[in-house]
Amino acid sequence: MSIRYALFANGLTSDVNDYSAHVEEAGMADLDVVFNRVVEQGERLNETDARSVMYKVLTACESLLLEGRRVDLAASTGLG
Protein backbone atom coordinates (compact mmCIF):
# COMPACT_ATOMS: atom_id res chain seq x y z
CA MET A 1 0.00 0.00 0.00
CA SER A 2 1.40 3.39 -0.93
CA ILE A 3 0.81 6.75 0.68
CA ARG A 4 -0.22 9.53 -1.68
CA TYR A 5 1.27 12.95 -1.07
CA ALA A 6 1.74 16.34 -2.71
CA LEU A 7 4.68 18.73 -2.52
CA PHE A 8 4.19 22.33 -1.43
CA ALA A 9 6.62 25.21 -1.02
CA ASN A 10 7.96 25.22 2.52
CA GLY A 11 6.91 28.55 4.04
CA LEU A 12 9.15 27.99 7.06
CA THR A 13 12.37 28.58 5.13
CA SER A 14 13.56 31.28 2.76
CA ASP A 15 14.88 28.73 0.23
CA VAL A 16 12.60 28.82 -2.84
CA ASN A 17 13.65 25.24 -3.65
CA ASP A 18 12.60 23.90 -0.26
CA TYR A 19 9.39 21.85 -0.28
CA SER A 20 7.45 19.80 2.20
CA ALA A 21 5.28 16.76 1.58
CA HIS A 22 1.65 16.72 2.69
CA VAL A 23 -0.17 13.42 2.88
CA GLU A 24 -3.32 13.33 0.76
CA GLU A 25 -6.18 11.86 2.75
CA ALA A 26 -7.66 8.73 1.19
CA GLY A 27 -10.98 9.07 2.98
CA MET A 28 -12.47 8.78 6.43
CA ALA A 29 -12.54 5.59 8.49
CA ASP A 30 -14.88 5.76 11.46
CA LEU A 31 -15.08 3.18 14.23
CA ASP A 32 -17.52 1.06 12.23
CA VAL A 33 -14.84 0.66 9.56
CA VAL A 34 -12.28 -0.23 12.24
CA PHE A 35 -14.61 -2.84 13.76
CA ASN A 36 -15.23 -4.38 10.34
CA ARG A 37 -11.49 -4.50 9.64
CA VAL A 38 -10.86 -6.31 12.93
CA VAL A 39 -13.55 -8.89 12.14
CA GLU A 40 -12.21 -9.29 8.56
CA GLN A 41 -8.79 -10.24 9.93
CA GLY A 42 -10.20 -13.55 11.05
CA GLU A 43 -10.01 -12.84 14.75
CA ARG A 44 -12.32 -14.75 17.04
CA LEU A 45 -14.01 -11.50 17.92
CA ASN A 46 -17.40 -10.75 16.54
CA GLU A 47 -18.46 -7.16 15.97
CA THR A 48 -20.07 -6.85 19.41
CA ASP A 49 -16.90 -8.05 21.15
CA ALA A 50 -14.74 -5.78 18.99
CA ARG A 51 -16.91 -2.79 19.87
CA SER A 52 -16.73 -3.61 23.59
CA VAL A 53 -12.95 -3.92 23.56
CA MET A 54 -12.48 -0.81 21.42
CA TYR A 55 -14.67 1.35 23.63
CA LYS A 56 -12.75 0.16 26.69
CA VAL A 57 -9.43 0.99 24.98
CA LEU A 58 -10.72 4.45 23.98
CA THR A 59 -11.99 5.12 27.51
CA ALA A 60 -8.63 4.10 28.97
CA CYS A 61 -6.79 6.31 26.45
CA GLU A 62 -9.04 9.25 27.23
CA SER A 63 -8.39 8.96 30.97
CA LEU A 64 -4.62 8.72 30.38
CA LEU A 65 -4.70 11.78 28.11
CA LEU A 66 -6.67 13.71 30.73
CA GLU A 67 -3.87 12.85 33.20
CA GLY A 68 -1.46 14.58 30.83
CA ARG A 69 0.12 11.43 29.44
CA ARG A 70 0.99 10.75 25.81
CA VAL A 71 -0.55 7.57 24.41
CA ASP A 72 1.22 5.63 21.65
CA LEU A 73 -0.92 2.70 20.58
CA ALA A 74 1.56 1.47 17.98
CA ALA A 75 4.66 1.37 20.21
CA SER A 76 4.07 -1.94 21.98
CA THR A 77 2.48 -3.70 19.01
CA GLY A 78 5.52 -3.54 16.75
CA LEU A 79 3.56 -1.37 14.31
CA GLY A 80 5.19 1.93 15.17
Query: Which structural domain range is residue 19 located in?
Result: 5-77
Residue 48 has, within 13 A of its CA and on its CB side, a CA count of 0
Q: What is the pLDDT of residues 22-77, one digit of tens each?
A: 998 877 777 777 777 777 877 687 888 888 888 888 888 888 889 998 878 776 66
Total structural domains within the chain: 1
- 25 Cβ neighbours under 8 A, 6+ residues apart: none
pTM: 0.51
